[in-house]
């Protein structure tokens, strides 16, 4: 009996994918092997140093400058993405224009492109003699080999995260809601501020978080456009690689721990903000 | 007038979805716009609200022209089918939305909110979120929200669509009582006739973007003017009957009927009659019937629905069965009958039982277009003609049938044909179509449709008559035709070229007369255009201005009409032309005597 066989395999509530035990087991294994064990190893490695040296490494002026650059540029890039990613998603959801499908497909390109390639491409375009760089240079705007270039690279790789999270949320804002608000007397800006933004805000924050997390960890594209001058355009991941090349494994691990800690705190903060925001919206307006 | 729509037209990609609609809704009236999906009723409602712009016409609310005003400045409240509540806001904030926009003070806002929640029986729900309410409660909130800013007009777009039957009825009652209490002018859009009956002071029925009929529920049900309204408002059997000087006959039997227009010019003709299922009387034998016998029948199917028993009855007398249009395909038309439980007990029936059928009340539709008769030299050609897309479409939309007839204008003499022509005679277009038209009209046909091959369904119908004596009939035919195709109607008045100034006032007045008569007597909204020049040239020029145009031509003189329009009818590829012939009253008597 076919049905009997299926029944024996499944748990009390059979679903499309059978085997709660197997799936949970795999989830646990995945978390351990890919996330938890390497992280634990990182912390252990860093713990191998004594405290004074640890503090000295992580608070060296060069390290501090790299944190500022890494997190600062990532924040700026994620913020830019939040604004323009929203605009992009809005255009894609609300308007039908020739080539819309094409634009929609292009959005995903940064996902697929090797980051080194986009880094080199950006450098070519924004270098002092590049396509765009040659016009910016006379205006006194240097993009390549400055923090601006780093931000541009981080914006590029973060954009699809915002667009792809906001798109479905925007699709859910029914035209009827806007129509209802309009008949009730609300102007366009009022509708945008009071109806559209609150509805897509959770998705927007998620997109921001993803773009930010991605930017902090980005390495490939940045090293080409950054110029990598210590204290000026050196991001923390690069500093870690330099330490590794000097066989200073403990030092690299210490910096890694700091990145881990800061990222964790920031992601936690954004998540809390999101939860708080959702509650606030639910309770009052 | 609280709401006045004047010839409102809205097109999407050149297709009119709302076609020349004029409505007047009185102060405090509950007006229901009823129509099937795609009839343009929701578009019209959105146009009143200001959410959809219109291409033509005027909209005024309480005497103020709001045609070009934005939705937020019109002062209307709109309720949507899917509630459209702001889900991130509480009930209180939803209701106060319109007041916040207007920067009303907090205390006034709260007071108004309490008042509205009491009105829709949702007291104490202020702090709930829409997600925590049932569908019925959410729609109540939506109604309260739409009323917060004291709109002059309340608009409801299928407000019960997403609710189940019990809640629907409860909410219906709430909306009715709120509307009565506030005395607010209300327009509700629905496709559910039961809902329309339960709520409306006045019902307007729409189909194909046109407003077909407006009236009180009871009047529309008892005396519909169009077959669409007859069949859309409740169930109806449509029958083809013949009207002559002796009265109305269905099959071989004379029946009592009401609503029949006086006979025109003494010509016997075909009419469409409505027989409601509950007006059919059943008895074991013909003698036991209290009402007029119409036919014998066999019960085919019985459905028990609680309060009523519904049956489908096959008519046994062949000539009668052929005259039944029914609601489905013409070939297997059955008579729908409903009986009360009381009637069921006095005459229990099973499927297969043979019975006598009587009509307690038969209503004759004032439409001059009853059925079609495809005429061609051979039956095979007539069959082919009957498959013409335009003819098929017209007969389907009119729920009528297309008969076949082989005719031979060359050999048949001028003696009366047997059987007499009934309905609209349809012939193929071509170089000698004028000759055939003349022959058909001389043999008793009153309307002839000349169909070029593969003519598309028209998007614009020109109306013209050669003689003011043909005006009434031509308008009636045009109105009937235009209820079944979504096209614009344009009356073309033509005056001969001559010195300007003198003699122009009379044609202009005729134009306006024609428009107001079309509107008042036939419920037809049409535009009017005046052309100067030779009649056939001007008609041809206007017909050539766009694709898919059609002409309705009223004539009073066969010989003159046929010769004058020979070139128009012979044009290739040509246009569908519906010729309406009514002998002028003064000349008709010698004509018949001859």
Q: Which tens digit of pLDDT belongs to each residue from A127-155?
A: 878 888 888 887 877 877 888 888 988 99
Question: CB-based burial of residue A201 (10 Å sphere; 0-12 exposed, 13-18 middle, 19+ buried)?
Answer: middle
The conformation of residue B33, written as its DSSP 8-state character, comes to E
Token pair for residue B526?
A: 């049409």
Q: Does residue B259 carry a pLDDT above 90?
A: no
User: What would the mean pLDDT of B362-379 be, rounded to a whole number?
Assistant: 87
| % of chain A residues with pLDDT over 90 | 12
* ipTM score over 0.85, yes or no: no
- B538 and B487 both lie in a single domain: yes
Higher pLDDT, B22 or B586: B22
Mean pLDDT, all residues of chain A: 83
Give residue B499's pLDDT.
64
Q: Going by C-beta distance under 8 Å and a sequence separation of 6 or more, which residues neighbour residue B469?
A: B556, B582, B584, B585
CB contact under 8 A, B86 and A177: yes
- Confidence tier at B339 by pLDDT (50, 70, 90): very high
Residues in chain A with CB shorter than 8 Å from the CB of B97 are: 181, 184, 186
Question: Residue B374 and residue B449: Cα distance in Å, rounded?
Answer: 9
Question: CB-based burial of residue B472 (10 Å sphere; 0-12 exposed, 13-18 middle, 19+ buried)?
Answer: middle
Q: Which domains occur in chain A, in start order? A: 51-283 (1.10.3720.10)
Contact B434/B566 with Cβ under 8 angstroms?
yes
- B184 and B248 both lie in a single domain: no
Q: Domain tally for chain B?
A: 3
Give residue B395's pLDDT.
87
Question: Residue B567 and residue A242: Cα distance in Å, rounded?
Answer: 95
A86-120 per-residue burial string, b: 16 or more CB within 10 A, e: under 16: bebbbebbeeeeeeeeeeeeebeebeebebeebbe
Mean pLDDT, all residues of chain B: 85
Place of tokens 């409740």: B234
User: What would the mean pLDDT of B519-528 be, rounded to a whole number?
Assistant: 81
Higher pLDDT, A127 or A184: A184
Give residue B415's pLDDT.
55
Give residue B495's pLDDT.
83
CB contact under 8 A, A190 and B101: yes
A175 touches chain B (CB under 8 A): no
Q: Does residue B500 carry a pLDDT above 70?
A: no
Nearest by CB to residue A185, choosing from B51, B80, B149, is: B149
Give residue A15's pLDDT.
66
Residues in chain B with CB shorter than 8 Å from the CB of A174 are: 82, 84
User: What would the mean pLDDT of B548-557 be, rounded to a whole number?
Assistant: 89
- B360 and B395 both lie in a single domain: no
**Angle subtended at Cα B295 by Cα B291 and Cα B299, rounded to the nearest 5 degrees:** 105
Question: Residue B347 and residue B283: Cα distance in Å, rounded?
Answer: 7
CB contact under 8 A, A283 and B80: no
- Confidence tier at B292 by pLDDT (50, 70, 90): confident
Q: Does residue B260 carry a pLDDT above 70?
A: no
Question: Residue A197 and residue B334: Cα distance in Å, rounded?
Answer: 58
Give residue B418's pLDDT.
61
pLDDT per position as a tens digit, B503-512 = 667 777 888 8
Token pair for residue B449?
A: 């449709």
What's B510's domain CATH number? 3.40.50.12370
Token pair for residue A20?
A: 């709660």
Residue B152 has a CB neighbour count (10 Å cut-off) of 16
Ranked by mean pLDDT, which of B7-21, B52-66, B312-326 comes out on top?
Answer: B52-66
Name the 3-class secondary structure at B550: strand
* Closest C-alpha among A114, A112, A210, A106 to residue A158: A210
Q: Beta B210-215 vs B202-207: how paired, if at all? A: antiparallel
Token pair for residue A256?
A: 């890694």
- B74 and B169 both lie in a single domain: yes
Name the 3-class secondary structure at B537: helix
Place of tokens 């059987």: B419
User: What would the mean pLDDT of B110-117 be, rounded to a whole number?
Assistant: 93
The C-alpha of A261 sits at a distance from chain B's nearest C-alpha, in angstroms, of 34
User: What would the mean pLDDT of B506-534 be, rounded to a whole number?
Assistant: 83
Contact B115/B93 with Cβ under 8 angstroms?
no
- Confidence tier at B66 by pLDDT (50, 70, 90): very high
Contact B205/B224 with Cβ under 8 angstroms?
no
CB contact under 8 A, A285 and B89: yes
- Confidence tier at A97 by pLDDT (50, 70, 90): confident
Q: Does residue A9 carry a pLDDT above 60?
A: no
Contact A209/A264 with Cβ under 8 angstroms?
no
Q: Does residue B584 carry a pLDDT above 80?
A: no
Residue A137 has a CB neighbour count (10 Å cut-off) of 17
Place of tokens 């409801």: B156
Q: How many CA atoms lie within 13 A of B438 on its CB side?
A: 16
Give residue A285's pLDDT.
37
pLDDT per position as a tens digit, B458-484 = 889 999 988 888 888 899 899 888 888
Residues in chain B with CB shorter than 8 Å from the CB of A186 are: 72, 97, 101
Residues in chain A with CB shorter than 8 Å from the CB of B49 are: 179, 183
- B248 and B186 both lie in a single domain: no
* Listed residues B364, B390, B421: the one ending a domain: B364
Contact B570/B563 with Cβ under 8 angstroms?
no
* Listed residues B230, B257, B281: the one ending a domain: B230
Q: Does residue B330 carry a pLDDT above 60?
A: no
CB contact under 8 A, B146 and A183: yes
Question: Residue B529 and residue B463: Cα distance in Å, rounded?
Answer: 10
Q: Going by C-beta distance under 8 Å and a sequence separation of 6 or more, which residues neighbour residue B293?
A: B253, B286, B356, B357, B358
Q: Going by C-beta distance under 8 Å and a sequence separation of 6 or more, which residues neighbour residue B1?
A: B24, B25, B26, B27, B60, B62, B63
- B352 and B473 both lie in a single domain: no
**Beta strands in B496-583, from DSSP E residues, in sequence order:** 527-532, 549-555, 577-581
User: What would the mean pLDDT of A19-44 be, rounded to a whole number?
Assistant: 85
pLDDT per position as a tens digit, B383-410 = 888 888 999 888 888 888 888 888 877 6
Distance of CA B323 to the CA centre of its chain: 22
- B107 and B238 both lie in a single domain: no
Higher pLDDT, B49 or A222: B49
Give residue A199's pLDDT.
82
- B446 and B394 both lie in a single domain: yes
Give residue B278's pLDDT.
92
CB contact under 8 A, A183 and B90: no
- Residue B535, φ and ψ in degrees, nearest 5: -55, -55
- Confidence tier at A43 by pLDDT (50, 70, 90): confident
- B177 and B288 both lie in a single domain: no
B587 touches chain A (CB under 8 A): no
Domain that holds residue B500: 372-593
Give residue B263's pLDDT.
58
B536 touches chain A (CB under 8 A): no
* Listed residues B206, B230, B254: the one ending a domain: B230
Give residue B59's pLDDT.
94
Contact B463/B492 with Cβ under 8 angstroms?
yes
User: What would the mean pLDDT of A88-109 be, rounded to a whole number?
Assistant: 88
Give the CA dihedral B10, B11, B12, B13, nearest 10 degrees: -160
The conformation of residue B418, written as its DSSP 8-state character, comes to S
Residues in chain B with CB shorter than 8 Å from the CB of A177 are: 84, 86
Q: What are the beta bridge partners of residue B241?
A: B271
- B351 and B383 both lie in a single domain: no
**pTM of this prediction?**
0.78
Give the CA dihedral B291, B292, B294, B300, nearest 10 degrees: 10
- Residue B311, φ and ψ in degrees, nearest 5: -135, 155
Place of tokens 């609200």: B49
The C-alpha of B115 sits at a distance from chain A's nearest C-alpha, in angstroms, of 18
The C-alpha of B121 sits at a distance from chain A's nearest C-alpha, in angstroms, of 22
- B8 and B58 both lie in a single domain: yes
- B377 and B351 both lie in a single domain: no
Q: What are the beta bridge partners of residue B30?
A: B186
What's B146's domain CATH number? 3.40.50.300
Give residue B412's pLDDT.
58
User: What would the mean pLDDT of A211-223 be, rounded to a whole number?
Assistant: 86
* Closest C-alpha among B488, B492, B491 to residue B532: B492
The C-alpha of B53 sits at a distance from chain A's nearest C-alpha, in angstroms, of 13
| % of chain B residues with pLDDT over 90 | 31
- Confidence tier at A221 by pLDDT (50, 70, 90): confident
Choice among A67-76, B24-33, B321-330 with the minimum mean pLDDT: B321-330
Q: Going by C-beta distance under 8 Å and a sequence separation of 6 or more, which residues neighbour residue B449?
A: B372, B391, B424, B425, B426, B427, B576, B577, B578, B579
Give residue B590's pLDDT.
38
Q: Beta B280-283 vs B335-340: how paired, if at all? A: unpaired
User: Best of A183, A198, A203, A279 to disrupt the B interface by mutation (most B CBs within 10 Å)?
Assistant: A183
């Amino acid at each position: 009996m076919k049905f009997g066989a299926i029944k024996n395999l499944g748990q009390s509530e059979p679903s499309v994918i059978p085997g709660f035990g197997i799936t949970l087991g795999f989830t646990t294994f995945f978390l351990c092997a890919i996330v938890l064990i390497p992280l634990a190893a990182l912390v252990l490695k860093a713990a191998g140093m004594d405290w004074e040296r640890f503090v000295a490494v992580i608070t060296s002026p060069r390290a501090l400058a790299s944190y500022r650059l890494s997190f600062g540029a990532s924040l700026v890039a994620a913020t830019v993405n939040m604004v323009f990613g929203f605009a992009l998603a809005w255009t894609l959801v609300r308007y039908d224009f020739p080539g819309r499908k094409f634009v929609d497909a292009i959005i995903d390109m940064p996902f697929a492109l090797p980051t080194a390639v986009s880094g080199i491409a950006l450098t070519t375009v924004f270098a002092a003699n590049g396509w765009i760089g040659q016009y910016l240079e006379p205006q006194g705007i240097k993009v390549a080999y400055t923090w601006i270039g780093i931000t541009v690279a981080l914006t590029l790789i973060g954009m699809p995260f915002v667009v792809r999270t906001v798109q479905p949320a925007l699709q859910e804002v029914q035209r009827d809601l806007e129509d209802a608000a309009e008949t009730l007397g609300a102007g366009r800006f009022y509708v945008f501020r009071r109806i559209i933004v609150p509805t897509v805000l959770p998705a927007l924050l998620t997109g921001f978080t993803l773009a930010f997390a991605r930017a902090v960890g980005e390495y490939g594209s940045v090293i080409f456009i950054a110029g990598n001058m210590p204290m000026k355009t050196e991001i923390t991941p690069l500093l870690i690689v330099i330490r590794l090349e000097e066989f200073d494994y403990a030092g690299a691990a210490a910096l890694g721990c700091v990145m881990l800690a800061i990222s964790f705190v920031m992601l936690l903060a954004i998540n809390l903000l999101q939860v708080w925001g959702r509650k606030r919206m639910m309770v009052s307006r | 007038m609280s709401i006045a729509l004047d010839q409102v037209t809205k097109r999407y990609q050149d297709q009119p979805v709302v076609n020349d609609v004029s409505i007047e809704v009185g102060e405090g009236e509950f007006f229901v716009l009823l129509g099937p999906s795609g009839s343009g009723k929701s578009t019209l409602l959105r146009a009143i609200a200001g959410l959809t712009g219109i291409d033509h016409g005027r909209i005024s609310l309480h005497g103020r022209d709001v045609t070009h005003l934005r939705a937020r400045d019109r002062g209307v409240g709109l309720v949507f089918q899917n509630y459209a509540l702001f889900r991130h806001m509480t009930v209180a904030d939803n209701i106060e939305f319109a007041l916040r926009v207007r920067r009303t003070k907090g205390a006034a806002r709260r007071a108004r909110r309490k008042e509205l929640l009491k009105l829709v029986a949702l007291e104490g729900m202020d702090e709930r979120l829409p997600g925590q309410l049932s569908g019925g409660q959410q729609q109540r909130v939506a109604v309260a929200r739409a009323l917060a800013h004291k709109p002059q007009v309340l608009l409801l777009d299928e407000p019960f669509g997403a609710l189940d039957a019990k809640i629907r009825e409860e909410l219906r009652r709430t909306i009715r009582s709120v509307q009565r209490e506030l005395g607010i002018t209300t327009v509700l859009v629905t496709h559910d006739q039961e809902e329309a009956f339960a709520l409306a002071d006045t019902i307007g029925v729409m189909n194909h973007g046109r407003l077909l009929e407006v009236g009180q529920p009871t009047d529309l049900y008892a005396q519909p003017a169009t077959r669409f309204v007859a069949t859309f408002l409740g169930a109806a059997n449509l029958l083809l009957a013949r009207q002559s000087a002796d009265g109305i006959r269905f099959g071989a039997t004379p029946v009592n009927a009401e609503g029949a227009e006086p006979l025109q010019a003494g010509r016997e003709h075909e009419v469409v009659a409505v027989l409601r299922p509950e007006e059919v009387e059943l008895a074991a034998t013909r003698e036991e019937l209290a009402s007029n016998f119409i036919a014998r029948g066999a019960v085919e199917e019985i459905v028990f629905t609680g309060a009523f028993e519904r049956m489908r009855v096959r008519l046994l007398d062949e000539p009668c069965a052929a005259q039944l249009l029914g609601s489905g395909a013409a070939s297997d038309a059955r008579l729908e009958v409903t009986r009360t439980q009381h009637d069921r007990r006095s005459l229990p029936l099973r499927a297969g039982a043979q019975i006598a059928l009587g009509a307690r009340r038969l209503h004759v539709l004032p439409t001059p277009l009853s059925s079609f008769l495809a005429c061609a030299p051979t039956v095979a050609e007539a069959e082919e003609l009957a498959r013409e897309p335009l003819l098929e479409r017209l007969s389907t939309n009119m729920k009528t049938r297309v008969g076949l007839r082989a005719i031979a204008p060359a050999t048949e003499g001028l003696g009366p044909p047997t059987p007499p022509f009934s309905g609209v005679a349809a012939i193929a277009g071509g170089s000698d179509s004028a000759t055939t038209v003349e022959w058909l009209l001389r043999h008793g046909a009153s309307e002839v449709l000349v169909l070029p091959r593969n003519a598309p369904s028209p998007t614009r119908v020109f109306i013209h008559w050669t003689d003011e004596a043909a005006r009434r009939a031509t308008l009636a035919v045009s109105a009937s035709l235009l209820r079944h195709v979504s096209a614009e109607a344009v009356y073309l008045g033509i005056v001969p070229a001559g010195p300007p100034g003198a003699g122009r006032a009379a044609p202009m007045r005729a134009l306006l007369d024609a428009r107001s008569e079309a509107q008042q007597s036939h419920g037809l909204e049409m535009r009017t255009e005046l052309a100067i020049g030779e009649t056939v040239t001007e008609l041809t020029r206007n017909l050539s201005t766009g694709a898919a145009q059609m002409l309705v031509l009223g004539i009073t003189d066969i010989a003159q009409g046929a010769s004058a329009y020979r070139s128009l009818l012979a044009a290739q590829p040509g246009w569908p032309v519906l010729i309406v012939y009514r002998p002028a009253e003064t000349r008709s008597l010698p004509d018949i005597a001859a």
